[in-house]
């Protein structure tokens, strides 16, 4: 045999062996990274709020009703609130809900739960009004918020905090956590509050109640800027909305997991609750990415994933709310995040609960 041909064969064999070993190593590295990623996502069972993974955001405003827009609120009645909570508890099986402020409507929710012995726990909200004018980055603020209004808001925020403390203590068997501020830190919203101020508010509430205290905001804010606030709260609360970030349903869950991991990697060791995640059934802003079928798919996927990884996840939201978004756009996304329509009819995501019931869509 030609010596050169002999060495050529030997060289080819070596290359093949090295290639196989390299491929095996790459596959092993991928498997190890995947395993490490899943391990980092998975929380402990005691990281769940009251042992529950599947929860829902609740705001009971029906057609013609709304929170205070400056000229007073039109709140749901006692009977309407009881109907809603019965649907959520008896029909849908929810045992944990999130409400957003400490006003009269929220007090009504807590009273209805207590007086009717409904098996629901509550994450209570403390709503913070703007203390900074965010007109340069919030697209619907067309001019600066007057300084006198900002100063008045600071006083109102302190009053709201005292109301939240009172409700948390009065309904201590129902309220399992308190949230101070909702999306009050992001640049794109209209009720911005300074981070140091929110930390002081968190500490004020913590000193007055026994329940854990948190702050709810977009996952990206937490990942980029949340180090100091994460030290102050008892757990962090993140919002995840892949559909708002131009993702369709085939990327919904995977992108949500990426969002969660981004926060987890930026703030290692923290306990994380997803206080908002949802998919609208109608949206004029991105009609091709929404439907009741896609809402159903995302709900099932994220709730299954949350259960597997011991993550409490609040679906946004229980019922459609017509008062939200642009008044003239009835097909806008803000009005259609609910598991049920504004008329309390179940969407496809909930229809399996009503197989023996006739209802009008």
pLDDT in tens, the chain (361 residues): 444 444 444 444 444 444 444 444 434 443 443 344 445 799 999 999 999 999 999 999 999 999 987 789 999 999 999 999 999 999 999 999 999 999 999 999 999 999 999 999 999 999 999 999 887 777 777 888 899 999 999 999 999 999 999 999 999 999 999 999 999 999 878 889 999 999 999 999 999 999 999 999 999 999 999 999 999 999 999 999 999 999 999 999 999 999 999 999 999 999 999 999 999 999 999 999 999 999 999 999 999 999 999 999 999 999 999 999 988 899 999 999 999 999 999 999 999 999 755 544 4
Distance CA 318, CA 122 (A): 14
> What pLDDT is attached to residue 54?
98
Name 306's Cβ contacts closer than 8 Å, sequence gap at least 6: 53, 54, 274, 312, 313
Residue 39's pLDDT is 55
Spell out the residues 6+ positions from residue 293 whose beta carbon is closer than 8 angstroms to its own.
348
Q: Is the pTM of this model over 0.85?
A: yes
Q: What is the DSSP letter of 92?
A: S
Going by C-alpha positions, the residue among 216, 109, 239, 81 that lies closest to residue 170 is 109
Please give the class, per CATH, of domain 48-354. alpha beta
* Residues linked to residue 114 through DSSP beta bridges, in sequence order: none
* Domain regions of the chain by residue span: 48-354
> Which pLDDT does position 315 carry in this prediction?
98
pLDDT at 27: 43
- What kind and span of H or E run contains 122? strand 121-126
């Amino acid at each position: 045999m030609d010596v050169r041909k002999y060495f050529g064969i030997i060289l080819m064999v070596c290359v093949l062996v090295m290639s196989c070993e390299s491929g095996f190593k790459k596959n092993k590295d991928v498997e190890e990274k995947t395993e490490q990623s899943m391990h980092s996502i998975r929380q402990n069972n005691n990281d769940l709020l009251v042992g529950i993974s599947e929860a829902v955001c609740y705001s009971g405003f029906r057609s013609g009703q709304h929170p205070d827009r400056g000229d007073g609120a039109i709140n749901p009645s006692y009977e309407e609130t009881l109907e809603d909570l019965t649907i959520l508890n008896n029909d849908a099986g929810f045992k944990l809900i999130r409400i957003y402020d400490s006003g009269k409507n929220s007090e009504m929710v807590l009273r209805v739960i207590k007086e009717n012995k409904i098996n629901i726990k509550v994450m209570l909200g403390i709503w913070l009004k703007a203390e900074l004018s965010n007109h340069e980055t919030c697209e619907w603020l067309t001019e600066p918020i007057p300084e006198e209004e900002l100063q008045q808001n600071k006083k109102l925020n302190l009053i709201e905090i005292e109301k939240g403390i009172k409700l948390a203590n009065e309904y201590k068997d129902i309220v399992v956590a308190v949230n101070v501020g909702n999306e009050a830190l992001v640049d794109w919203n209209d009720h911005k509050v300074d981070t140091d101020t929110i930390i002081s508010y968190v500490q004020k509430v913590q000193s007055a109640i026994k329940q854990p205290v948190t702050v709810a905001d977009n996952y990206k804010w937490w990942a980029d800027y949340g180090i100091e606030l994460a030290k102050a709260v008892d757990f962090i609360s993140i919002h995840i909305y892949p559909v708002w970030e131009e993702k369709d349903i085939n990327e919904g869950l995977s992108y949500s997991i990426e969002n969660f991991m981004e926060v987890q990697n930026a703030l290692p060791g923290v306990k994380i609750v997803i206080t908002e995640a949802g998919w609208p059934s109608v949206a004029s802003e991105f009609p091709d990415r929404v439907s009741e079928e896609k809402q159903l798919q995302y709900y099932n996927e994220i709730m299954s994933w949350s259960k597997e990884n011991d993550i409490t996840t609040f679906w946004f939201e229980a019922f459609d709310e017509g008062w939200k978004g642009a008044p003239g756009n009835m097909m806008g996304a803000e009005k259609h995040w609910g598991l049920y329509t504004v008329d309390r009819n179940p969407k496809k995501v909930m229809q399996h609960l009503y197989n023996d019931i006739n209802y009008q869509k």
